[in-house]
Amino acid sequence: MDIIRRKIYILIFVLVSSPCLGSAGDIVHQDKNAPKRPGCDNNFVLVKVPTWVDGVEEIEYVGVGARFGSTLEAKEKDANQSRLVMADPPDCCSKPKNQLKGDALLVHRGGCSFTAKANFAEEAGASAILIINYRKELFKMVCEANETDVHIDIPAIMLPQDAGANLENHIKSNSTVTVQLYSPRRPVVDVAEVFLWLMAVGTILCASYWSAWTAREVAIEQDKLLKDGSEEFSNVEGVSSGGTVDINMTSAILFVVIASCFLVMLYKLMSFWFIEVLVVLFCIGGVEGLQTCVVALLSCFRWFQHAGESFVKVPFFGAISYLTLAVCPFCIAFSVVWAVYRRISFAWIGQDILGIALMITVLQLVRVPNLKVGTVLLSCAFLYDIFWVFISKWWFHESVMIVVARGDRSGEDGIPMLLKIPRMFDPWGGYSVIGFGDIILPGLLVAFSLRYDWLMKKNFRSGYFVWAMTAYGLGLLITYVALNLMDGHGQPALLYIVPFTLGTFLTLGKRRGELKTLWTRGEPERPCPHVQLQSS
């Protein structure tokens, strides 16, 4: 049973660690080719575009304001409604033939510059210009480098392709379409990001103490066997492993290769049915993680100790405690209920519970034996995250990591391997998210630091755990600061977290003269060299 569980968790470890993302969101732009200048220095803002068709309220679309043009009202009550008409010619690269009296003009992208379209629309008497992109994504409209006539007094908004097509169809069917344009301000910091930070830090904190406690119990058991000269000495390694799996150098390097292949597979095969497969895998891992955490928690109480120490043989699964048998049905039911109702508004609670339980169990099971392996693993993950968020755009014309995390082309609201919390005070709604890998991978190093401190009998002041935990918290905090400064662009969280955690650990070990021990052994020297605190 232990061998099967190890293989399952190694697979789950790769699956849940692949989509490492701080947050999702991507808007194409070309600021480097056309920097800010007078008349073309607006900040890019998201624009709400509620619509009415023949007086009946319809879909509310989201666009992005241009670098040029007038700014929009921040409150809905202050924004005026305008009739929407289709430009003639549709690209608005010449003065429209429409008789406009304060109407908003809907035009197609292409044929001439954005500012030329806006100038023609303003000259014709339009109150605003809405430009339809030829892709589903939004595009940040800027001024061309050699343009001079950029003093435009009407707002210009870019709409995604599907939104523009819907509006155009309504207009062509002779319906009266009315729109309202306003841009509510987002809060500098949303409470959801604070809670997400606490969840990530708390997950690593709980997993680290569980891992360190298990390692200390194993060390005590080994010392007893050595002291008693027991005949079971030859089997110490198998007994003391406690079902844990140590990552070696080869595994650390292969992780990047396997995770990259899995990420590309997700990107290429992204569809509704493939998301369903991921949901099933997530539920299997969530059930195992939840029952492991609940059983471990209940075993701490005297009333459940006997049930936790009494076992029964189950075909295929081997010996299982009565407590596990009692808890497992509830965990399965919880997971199934979440899977069935995962599209409702508060389903994120169940996803986070299953995800946290899974990550705590993985961090307790999978371990780095020393700082050398931890450095290689995190360095590879650091490069992996940067490559698939930023560099992958050169080959795939879009960020592979961001597309996978958002669940584009799947009909679902992202993949399940994320912790998510709805933005509470953000008028734009949405979720703040963090990938499991952004917690698990640095969490392996933080958990190693506490195991080392306990086995070396170090206090908080002379140990490494407090420093490692603080470094992770600061790295994650900087990730959210960068996310807010980058206008919603997806950020690779490990870009910020790895330098903080790994850099702090290496620097502190060097200054204390313990880097060699941390780098090679990662544990106190045992009485017999061949008996070490590591898993088979």
Which among 48, 27, 46, 59 has a CA at the least distance from the CA of 169?
59
Q: Give φ, ψ of 254 to 5 degrees.
A: -65, -25
Q: Taking residues 443-463, what's their average pLDDT? A: 91
Is the pLDDT at 522 greater than 80? The verdict is no
Note if 385 is an active site residue: yes
Token representation of residue 343 = 């599209």
Instruction: Give the range among 29-33, 223-227, 378-382 with minimum mean pLDDT.
Output: 29-33
Q: Name the burial class of residue 378, with classes exposed (0-12), middle (13-18) and buried (19+) by CB atoms within 10 angstroms of its CB.
A: buried
| Nearest-angstrom CA–CA distance, 181 and 175 | 19
Q: What string of DSSP letters covers 120-136?
A: HHHHTT-SEEEEEPSSS
Tell me the range of 146-155, 214-223, 255-264, 278-287 where mean pLDDT is highest: 278-287
Q: Taking residues 304-322, what's their average pLDDT? A: 77
| Nearest-angstrom CA–CA distance, 132 and 106 | 7
Residues 288/329, Cβ–Cβ less than 8 Å:
no
- Residue 229 DSSP symbol: T
Given the residues 103, 352, 408, 438, the one annotated as active site: 438
Is the pLDDT at 182 greater than 90? The verdict is yes
| Nearest-angstrom CA–CA distance, 182 and 165 | 21
What does the pLDDT look like over 84-137, one tens digit per residue? 999 999 999 998 888 788 899 999 999 999 999 999 999 999 999 999 998 887
Instruction: Give the range among 115-119, 395-399, 414-418, 529-533 with minimum mean pLDDT.
Output: 529-533
Distances 216 to 210, 247, 452, 460, 498 between C-alpha atoms, Å = 10, 19, 10, 16, 27
Is the pLDDT at 338 greater than 90? The verdict is yes
Model pLDDT, residue 30:
44
Model pLDDT, residue 359:
92
The number of residues making up the chain comes to 536
Model pLDDT, residue 334:
97
Given the residues 385, 408, 426, 453, the one annotated as active site: 385
Q: What string of DSSP letters covers 494-513?
A: HHHHHHHHHHHHHHHHHHHT
Instruction: Give the range among 92-101, 167-176, 333-342, 521-530 with minimum mean pLDDT.
Output: 521-530
- The contacts of residue 200 (CB under 8 Å, 6+ apart) are 419, 434, 438, 439, 476
Residues 134/109, Cβ–Cβ less than 8 Å:
yes
Residues 418/434, Cβ–Cβ less than 8 Å:
yes
Which residue in this structure is represented by tokens 């020297």?
Answer: 525
Model pLDDT, residue 21:
38
Q: Taking residues 338-359, what's their average pLDDT? A: 93
| Nearest-angstrom CA–CA distance, 422 and 186 | 14
Is the pLDDT at 451 greater than 80? The verdict is yes
Q: Where are the alpha helices (DSSP H) in 416-493?
A: 437-455, 465-485
Model pLDDT, residue 29:
42
Q: How far is CA 348 from the centre of its chain?
A: 13
| Nearest-angstrom CA–CA distance, 408 and 411 | 7
Q: Is 514 left (phi over 0), alpha (psi -120 to 50) or beta?
A: alpha
Model pLDDT, residue 38:
80
